Amino acid sequence: MLTQTLHDLKKHSRELLEEIAMMVEVKASEGDQKPHEVIFSRREVREYTKWSDWKVRECMTQLVDLEYIRAMGGSQGKQCAYQISGLIPYNEFSLNGLTSPEKLSEIFQRGSN
- The Cα–Cα gap between 109 and 113 comes to 7
Q: 11 with 51: CB under 8 angstroms?
A: no
Q: Residue 67: which domain range?
A: 2-112
pLDDT in tens, 55-66: 999 999 999 999
CATH assignment of the domain containing 25: 1.10.10.10
pLDDT in tens, 30-86: 888 888 889 999 999 999 999 999 999 999 999 999 989 999 876 666 678 999 987
pLDDT over threshold 70, residue 87: no
List all residues 6 or more positions away from 25 whose beta carbon is below 8 Å from its beta carbon. Answer: 35, 90
- The pTM assigned to this predicted structure is 0.70
Number of domains in the chain: 1
